[in-house]
Amino acid sequence: MTADSKLTLWNVAFQRTFRAFPAFDLHLAANGSALEYSAANTPESSARWQVFRLGLAGTDSGAASVNNAGGVANTDTGNVAGVQGISGDGTTVFFSSGATNLSPAATDGQLHGFVRTQGSLEHFAVVGDSYSSGEGVPPFIPPSGADHCDRSYHAYAEDIAALSPEMALTGFGACSGATSHQIITGMNAENSQLQFVILTAGGDDIGFGKFVTACLLNLCAKGSKAYERAENAIRHSLPSNMAMLFDHLTAVLSRGTRVLVLGYPDVLPPTGAPYICSTLKARDQTAAQKVEGDLNAAIVAAVKTADASKANVSFEYVDPFIQFDGHELCSPHPYFRGLSRTTRYSYHPNAAGQQAYARAVKAYLVKHPAVA
């Protein structure tokens, strides 16, 4: 070393950490802003090798090998299991692990690569009904299969996080069959860190699944019981139900949170489409279009009313039509499951449909990066 070099204690937290808990595989970011290391006997490590990041300015420090709910990896991570390192700017730690609790997409116990990004992450939660839970894409995250909330490993919540690295899934409380009222009573995903809450709501308020089934049985034409039941619910109960839900969200969410309300895509092919469900008659097809359109129009109206009247939280409607167009039931490449032996899965977005929802959210946020 040269005579004019100087050894300095970077940070008191750094000194405490390594005096009390031996650490290994230390890597310093090229810009000197952060350090990444492994340790197995810290209070956070649960007696397993975990990967940590230490901000040398005393901020953004802690375990990197944690899931987005804060749980540390349930097996050894980092170099002891493969690799670990830190980006040159110190914001990103990467590591490998066979942990089964870090991501719903990596539960097979095999070695997977993970990236933990510090800084300007945008946290979001997904609540709502079966279109948000991913009911059409089993298997489901335990215990939601047993209680029939049916939260899928491949729901759009996970797809959004995969499409947009800056988005971090913080809560996933969607539940199959949830009406607007049940979404209120069952919410447990909101917290002060959230920048976004994303949801679908209203379909179960009008019995939409039963209506689609009636259409495919030629029992939903205008004037039928199924048609009148759905339209009556859209006109009379849905507006107040949605208003109550939005009031609740305003009360529990922090100032500045953006609530993205997703519309429902067309499940059945529109009139004039080059494909048609063989059992679907023209009058039922027309009725289905009317109910689907009226449902989304009522949701749009409720969103606009809420956004105009709430000062702390913004409410925004995301239209998924473009992403689903041409992929209705009975199309060559449908984004929905057909009639399933397990009937509760029927007529819900399949894996491709969930990905389409995620693309709709991403496209909306690209066009609307901030509240107008």
Maximum Cα–Cα distance across the chain: 93
What pLDDT score was predicted for residue 157?
93
Taking residue 310's Cβ as centre, other Cβ atoms within 10 Å add up to 17
**How many residues are recorded in the chain?**
372
Phi, psi of 295, deg, nearest 5: -60, -50
C-alpha 231/C-alpha 161 separation (Å) is 36
Segments of the chain assigned E as strands? 24-28, 34-39, 50-55, 62-63, 84-86, 92-97, 112-117, 122-128, 167-172, 194-200, 258-262, 314-318
Report, in angstroms and rounded to the nearest whole number, the Rg of the chain calculated over CA atoms.
24
What pLDDT score was predicted for residue 120?
62
The pLDDT tens digits of the residues spanning 189-228 come to: 455 578 999 999 999 999 998 998 899 889 999 999 999 9
* Spatial contact of 296 and 240, defined as CB atoms under 8 Å apart: no
Closest of 257, 265, 244 to residue 357, by C-alpha: 265
* Spatial contact of 241 and 180, defined as CB atoms under 8 Å apart: yes
C-alpha 108/C-alpha 3 separation (Å) is 54
What pLDDT score was predicted for residue 192?
59
What pLDDT score was predicted for residue 1?
35
What pLDDT score was predicted for residue 304?
97
What pLDDT score was predicted for residue 109?
87
C-alpha 72/C-alpha 261 separation (Å) is 32
What pLDDT score was predicted for residue 21?
47
Segments in the chain below pLDDT 70: 1-24, 57-61, 68-70, 118-120, 186-192, 340-343, 372
Amino acid at 105: A
What pLDDT score was predicted for residue 156?
96
Strands 92-97, 112-117: parallel, antiparallel or unpaired by DSSP? antiparallel
The pLDDT tens digits of the residues spanning 226-281 come to: 999 999 999 999 999 999 999 999 998 989 999 999 999 999 888 888 888 888 89
What pLDDT score was predicted for residue 2?
39
* Spatial contact of 129 and 176, defined as CB atoms under 8 Å apart: yes
Q: List CB contacts of 358: < 8 A, sequence separation 6 or more.
A: 156, 159, 160, 162, 163
Closest of 284, 286, 319, 303 to residue 238, by C-alpha: 303
C-alpha 360/C-alpha 348 separation (Å) is 17
Burial degree of 13 (CB within 10 A; 0-12, 13-18, 19+) = middle
Q: Name the CA dihedral angle for 10, 14, 18, 19, rounded to a multiple of 10 degrees.
A: 80
Fold of 122-367: Rossmann fold (3.40.50)
Residue with tokens 């529990």: 252
Residues pairing with 34 in the sheet: 55
Amino acid at 276: I
Q: Domain spans of the chain?
A: 12-117, 122-367
Residue with tokens 């290994």: 24
C-alpha 200/C-alpha 206 separation (Å) is 13
Is the whole-model pTM more than 0.85?
no
